[in-house]
Structure formats: C-alpha cells, structure tokens
Amino acid sequence: MNLSEELIWRGFINQTTLKDLNKLNSMDISFYHGFDASVNSLTIGNLAAVMMDKCFIRHGAKATIISGGATSLIGDPGGKDIERPLQSRQTIDSNVTAVHNQLRYLLGSKTRFLNNLDWLGKINVLDFLRDVGKYFSMTPLVQRDYIAKRMGKDGSGITYTELSYTLLQGYDFLYLNQKYGVNFQIAGSDQWGNCLSGVELIKKVENKTVNVFTCPLIINQATGVKFGKSEQGAVWLDPKLTSPLDFYQFWINSDDKGVISYLKIFTELSKIEIDEIEKTKLTEPASRTAQRTLAYEVTKLVHGEDTAKNVELATQVLTGKLLLMDLNKKALNNLKNYLKFLTINRDSSLTDILTASGLVSSKTEARRLIESGSIYLNNDNYKDDLIDFSKLKTNYAMLRRGKAYKDTIFLEIKK
C-alpha cells in the first residue's frame, strides 16, 4: 500500500492543495506540523493528527515538528467567539517543553523539533510589516469564515493581535522552506486558512509551489459529535491529567459503529490485521475484540507496553473477568499504581471502609447504600456491615459502589 492509498484507507483525507493524490507517492516530501502550546498536554484529538504524521514518516517523508512558543503567545482566533486570554511567557515555555516531550516519544528521534519563538521572537516589527505584511491583502483575510463571523453584526470583534496570527503562521512556513527546504504542511482541519497563508506567501516571495494537507475532524459515529471527550472532559495524553486506566477505559468503551475507523486512525495495525478484527466483530460481536485491541494498542502507543498490560489486567479485575486470587504478588502490587487504593484493618466495618474510601460522604449514606444492595465486595453484592474476612482467599479485595467501575477501591487487608 503506497502513501496515498494508506491515507485514503485510514480516513486521513480532508483538504489538500494537491489536485492529484497520486503525486504523493513520487514526491520528495519534507513536511512540517505545528502544535499549539496554550496547554501543557496533547489530547487524543491531537493524537489523530500525530498518527497522520506517522503515516507520512513511514513512507519516507522528512518531518519537522513546531511547537508554537511564539504563536501561542498570540492565540489562534479560529473557532473562538471571543479573544483567548493571553498567557505568560513562562507558562508557554513550560507548555512547549511538555508538548515537545510527548511528541518526541510518539514520533522518535529522527524527527526535527523546533520552537517558532526562536525566529519569530527575533523579528523587528517594522521589518515584519515591510517584508511579510505587504504580501497580505486585507480583503481575502476578512472574508475568512472565522474572521467574518467575529466582524459581523453579532460578532464580538477581532483585535489586530488575533488578525496577525495567520501572518505569523504563514511566515513559519516561509522560514522553514528557506532554511530547511520544507515543502509541505500538515495540519488539523481548522487550520486550512492559516495553511494557505504560507502557501501564498512562499509563492509571492520565492516563486515556489508548496502544498498543504489537513486531517479531518474525527466524529463519534454513535453520537455525531466531536470525538475525544469523556464524562470528565478532554482525554489527555499526560498520565497526570488522564490516568492510564481512565485512558484505557475510554477506548474500550468505544462505540460499535466507529471502532473499526478508530483502529485505522489511532493504531498502526495493518489492513490485514484490521480486516481480520472486523470479521471477528461481525461473527463474534460479544467478544468486543475490536474495542479490546483498540484500547490496548493506543495505550501501548501513548504510555508504553508495560503500562498497557497493567491497565488491561486492572480492567479485567474490575469487570470480574479475573479474580484477585488468580493474580501473583507482583500483579497485585502493580494494581496499586492504577486503582484507588486503601489499607484497612480486619476489624473494620463496611460502613467505616466506605467512609474512609471516599465512596460515600457520610456513615449515614454508607448504611443506606449497604441496605439498598448498592455495595459490592469482589463483585458480590454485600448487605452486611460486618465483613467475614476469613472467607476472602487473599489479603486484597475490590470494593465497589453501584455498577460503575470508576467507583471502585482496591483494598489491602492488614494481616
């Protein structure tokens, strides 16, 4: 499968300046992809674009990744009804470091990583206006959808600072083309207009033709809304913001309609492998092989193989597919790293344990839940406040409130 075929099969085609996608297969591609540094972690929405980068790299393209140390100080007005709050240089610098570290892990050492503050921060404002600004006509700029909306009757208006964002991004492309021979830009679907700024600027300054390629917005096929949100909000790649277990759980709960598409976009599994998974999905839907494979592969990609194995094990314990008594000591100790954990005494009552665990707000609530049959110990409904610890075959137990696995505590019982 060549590059254009794989991009089509994986669903990465959105907009491009190329009239013939087959040209991708013979072009000497040196691309750049810029990432926002207004936050200190990528999300799984960003991960889709990273996977498109990896697809280009697998087919021999040279990659340059830009963190917006300068442009994030301005803020992209695209998709915003009001101006973004400006952040401090210190915050943006910290975010650049964090995002670069995530991208290095995902894309490898052969990728070039740069910060656009290194060149935009050195530009004299008069030189920029004379050497760059003169190539941009206001007429097409104000006709761009997001600018026209902000300037319209019911819009909040747009500042010169925000309006300059697209010029800065266009200059990034020119700078990279002149210094590194970059001839291709990859971006998210919302960056199409900003990408064209670079294409047009390079044509006017260097009389060269360069191209852009944008990744489509990923849609949850079950709900029709933007993919990538959990009940807790955005799903982050930083394990401090979204735990590896919650990350894995997000993927394993993927909808049946979209799971094969997600496998194509968010994993590097081959067409043969995914076709086989799709056959199993049709013949054995209850096995949820597609969801389990998706959860494991994406978690392995982002957090590493050991973590993926551990959270897969933790999920099997949470769902009762594995019993604590079946795990060795190492596996039991690993669970402490991924599940909420509490050490208890053998004389503790169920009410006391629930209160100490944080699963309830008071002993009154604990007693009410016990009486109503809403408390589970090792997946068995428990209605007695006194626990017979002699019946437990290990010094560990799983305590759960209701049927939601997120409301589970891993208990270690003191001997």
**CB distance 205 to 220 below 8 Å:** no
Residue 64 identity (one-letter amino acid): T
What domains lie within the chain, and their CATH numbers? Answer: 3-215 (3.40.50.620), 229-330 (1.10.240.10), 341-413 (3.10.290.10)
Buried b (16+ CB within 10 A) or exposed e, 7-40: beebbbbebbbeeebeebeeeebbbbbbbbbbbb
Reported as a single tens digit per residue, the pLDDT across 220-268 is 877 777 777 666 688 999 999 999 999 999 999 999 999 999 999 999 9
Residue 184 half-sphere exposure, CB side, CA atoms within 13 Å? 19
3-state secondary structure of 33: strand
Distance of alpha carbon 213 from alpha carbon 185, whole angstroms? 6
Distance of alpha carbon 294 from alpha carbon 63, whole angstroms? 26
Reported as a single tens digit per residue, the pLDDT across 127-159 is 999 999 999 888 777 777 767 777 776 766 777
Distance of alpha carbon 309 from alpha carbon 322, whole angstroms? 14
Reported as a single tens digit per residue, the pLDDT across 354-382 is 999 989 999 999 999 999 989 988 888 88
Decide the pairing of beta strands 15-16 and 211-215.
antiparallel
Reported as a single tens digit per residue, the pLDDT across 279-333 is 999 999 999 999 999 999 999 999 999 999 999 998 888 888 888 888 888 888 8
Distance of alpha carbon 20 from alpha carbon 16, whole angstroms? 9
> Is the pTM higher than 0.85?
yes
Q: Quick one: tokens of 347?
A: 């004389």
3-state secondary structure of 355: helix
Reported as a single tens digit per residue, the pLDDT across 63-119 is 999 999 999 988 777 666 666 778 899 999 999 999 999 999 999 988 999 999 999
How many degrees, rounded to 5, is the angle at CA 288 between CA 284 and CA 289? 85
DSSP, residue by residue, 154-200: TS----HHHHTHHHHHHHHHHHHHHHH---EEEEEGGGHHHHHHHHH
